Amino acid sequence: MIERHAGGERVILVALDFGTPDFAESVAELRLLATGAGLDIQGEVQGKRSRPDAALFVGSGKADEIAALVAATEADVVIFNHELSPAQERNLERRLHCRVIDRVSLILDIFARRASSAEGKLQVELAQLQHLSTRLVRGWTHLERQRGGVGMRGPGEKQLETDRRLIGTRVKALRERLAKLGKQRRTQRRSRARQNVLSVALVGYTNAGKSTLFNALTRADAYAADQLFATLDTTTRKIYLPQVGEVVLSDTVGFITRLPHDLVAAFRATLEATAEADLLLHVIDSSSPGRERQIEAVEKVLHEIGADAVPQLRVYNKLDLTGVAPGVGRGEYGKLQSVYVSAQTGAGLELLREALSEILGAGRVRLEAGVPDDTSPPTEVISE
């Protein structure tokens, strides 16, 4: 019998290349998601296809290759770096003789692990239940005895005992509770608006360094770690800027490519703070080779939540890993568009504070004068 690893369940990762340019980055991201979930990666299976197989997603030969690796390593779970249909999951479980989950379920599982506030837990449970509602009938019979595990935390523990009527009732209750919390948050934001307190929200791809930057700017101790989705619950602090006064700064959940739609919908109330901010600090990992793809993923989610019209300042972080000197980038007519910093070492943070004072100071003048702000996003971004 193979000894079980103390770090967690033994998993096999599967990724198919359909000709997308970001395939290698996506696979590397899947590894980070799996290790971040505390899983023990036993092996990987990759392949190329022009399109997914309707029944198994992979071809029959590739399914046999995965099954052989599962048997050799005694893996507990096979994780696909794709979104599987309920039928594909059932067919694969019968073929591989182990549990199969997709990228969406893995991300939901990580959120279930990391949510700490009451609202965060409610949001994750809502997303899990909505995802679970399409997967009530499953082909792998040992799920009836399932006691948890990756992709099964929270409401997933008793899947087969939960019918759609009960899920519907719980989803309704969760939505009502989250709507009430959202109303309370909007009341608080209106109160700050009446006091002419400007707000800034940190947004960006997961693990771009938002929480580290938040801590550096506010001297707070928000949780920051070198892992995907270290922050789920929005943290808010006040900072003081010369010529501006007090400003509310919020650290938000990171975004990721193919972020589950149910998760975006569940966190919509929390993300409303982003859409109603006076300025977005879009934090970018300047050391990542996939930063352009990550920027696109963030912009896509901002569009989904109605925050794409909020003025934005791009903050290229992690200069300590690139050797680039701190600085600022300006566009047409000298408009500030980007700042280059290292939140880890503090390099360039004074430039960022000056940039915030310049942008928000101008916004403060317009606010007090009753002049509408120019909310159009920057048309030009200074590249590295």
Q: What is the 3-state secondary structure (H, E, C) of 258-317?
A: CCCHHHHHHCHHHHHHHHCCCEEEEEEECCCCCHHHHHHHHHHHHHHCCCCCCCEEEEEE
275: CATH: 3.40.50.300
- Are 58 and 201 found together in one domain? no
What is the count of structural domains for the chain? 2
Evaluate whether 357 touches 243 at the Cβ level (below 8 Å): yes
* Residue 231 annotated in ligand binding: yes
* Residue 207 annotated in ligand binding: yes
Q: Assess whether pLDDT exceeds 80 at residue 207.
A: yes
Nearest to 215 by CA among 295, 317, 119, 288: 317
Any bridge partners for residue 256, and if so which?
none
* Residue 318 annotated in ligand binding: yes
Evaluate whether 335 touches 342 at the Cβ level (below 8 Å): no
Nearest to 217 by CA among 255, 250, 192, 244: 250
Q: In terms of pLDDT, which residue wins out, 160 or 125?
A: 125
* Residue 112 annotated in ligand binding: no
Between strands 235-241 and 245-251, the pairing is antiparallel
In a domain, 377, yes or no: no
Is this structure's pTM higher than 0.85? Answer: no
The confidence score (pLDDT) of residue 322 equals 93
120: CATH: 3.40.50.11060
* Residue 252 annotated in ligand binding: yes
* Residue 87 annotated in ligand binding: no
Evaluate whether 126 touches 174 at the Cβ level (below 8 Å): yes
* Residue 206 annotated in ligand binding: yes
Q: What do you get for the CA distance between the two ends of the chain, in Å?
A: 53
74-88, 103-117, 332-346, 368-382: least confident range: 368-382
- Are 252 and 143 found together in one domain? no
* Residue 254 annotated in ligand binding: yes
The confidence score (pLDDT) of residue 128 equals 86
Mean pLDDT for 43-56 is 96
Mean pLDDT for 355-369 is 73
Q: Residue 34: enclosing H or E segment and its boundaries?
A: helix 23-36
- Are 22 and 114 found together in one domain? yes
38-42, 103-107, 150-154, 304-308: least confident range: 150-154
* Residue 205 annotated in ligand binding: yes
Task: Determine how many CB atoms are found less than 10 A away from the CB of residue 158.
Answer: 12
* Residue 204 annotated in ligand binding: yes
The confidence score (pLDDT) of residue 213 equals 94
Task: Determine how many CB atoms are found less than 10 A away from the CB of residue 39.
Answer: 24
Q: Assess whether pLDDT exceeds 60 at residue 138.
A: no
48-52, 116-120, 321-325: least confident range: 116-120
* Residue 344 annotated in ligand binding: yes
Nearest to 275 by CA among 368, 199, 178: 199
In a domain, 378, yes or no: no
Q: In terms of pLDDT, which residue wins out, 160 or 250?
A: 250
The confidence score (pLDDT) of residue 375 equals 42
* Residue 230 annotated in ligand binding: yes
* Residue 233 annotated in ligand binding: yes
The structure tokens listed for 358 are 């310049």
- Are 208 and 338 found together in one domain? yes
* Residue 210 annotated in ligand binding: yes
Kindly tell me the burial class for residue 195, based on how many C-beta atoms sit within 10 Å of its own C-beta (0-12, 13-18, 19 or more). Answer: exposed
Q: Assess whether pLDDT exceeds 80 at residue 196.
A: no
- Are 49 and 130 found together in one domain? yes
The confidence score (pLDDT) of residue 274 equals 83
Evaluate whether 247 touches 363 at the Cβ level (below 8 Å): no
Evaluate whether 95 touches 56 at the Cβ level (below 8 Å): yes
Q: In what order do the strands lie in the sheet with 235-241?
A: 235-241, 245-251, 198-204, 279-285, 312-317, 336-340, 327-330
- Are 159 and 231 found together in one domain? no
The structure tokens listed for 280 are 């977005």
- Are 232 and 355 found together in one domain? yes
Q: Assess whether pLDDT exceeds 90 at residue 343.
A: yes
In a domain, 126, yes or no: yes
* Residue 253 annotated in ligand binding: yes
* Residue 211 annotated in ligand binding: yes
* Residue 279 annotated in ligand binding: no
In a domain, 172, yes or no: no
The confidence score (pLDDT) of residue 367 equals 47
* Residue 317 annotated in ligand binding: yes
**Domain range spanning residue 114?**
10-164
Alpha-carbon distance of 195 to 70, in angstroms, equals 60
The confidence score (pLDDT) of residue 144 equals 42
The confidence score (pLDDT) of residue 99 equals 93
* Residue 308 annotated in ligand binding: no
- Are 159 and 202 found together in one domain? no
Mean pLDDT for 211-236 is 72
Between strands 279-285 and 327-330, the pairing is unpaired
pLDDT band at 179, cuts 50/70/90?
confident
Task: Determine how many CB atoms are found less than 10 A away from the CB of residue 180.
Answer: 11
In a domain, 270, yes or no: yes
* Residue 320 annotated in ligand binding: yes
In a domain, 170, yes or no: no
- Are 33 and 138 found together in one domain? yes
Can you tell me which residue has the tokens 């050797």?
323
The confidence score (pLDDT) of residue 217 equals 92
Phi, psi dihedral angles at 31 (to 5 degrees): -60, -45
Q: In terms of pLDDT, which residue wins out, 226 or 119?
A: 119
- Are 26 and 92 found together in one domain? yes
- Are 213 and 301 found together in one domain? yes
Q: What region, left, alpha or beta, does residue 194 occupy, with left being phi > 0 and alpha being psi -120 to 50 degrees?
A: alpha
Cβ contacts of 333 within 8 Å, gap of 6 or more:
none
In a domain, 100, yes or no: yes
Mean pLDDT for 361-369 is 59
Please state the length of the chain: 384
In a domain, 134, yes or no: yes
Kindly tell me the burial class for residue 104, based on how many C-beta atoms sit within 10 Å of its own C-beta (0-12, 13-18, 19 or more). Answer: buried
Evaluate whether 334 touches 204 at the Cβ level (below 8 Å): no
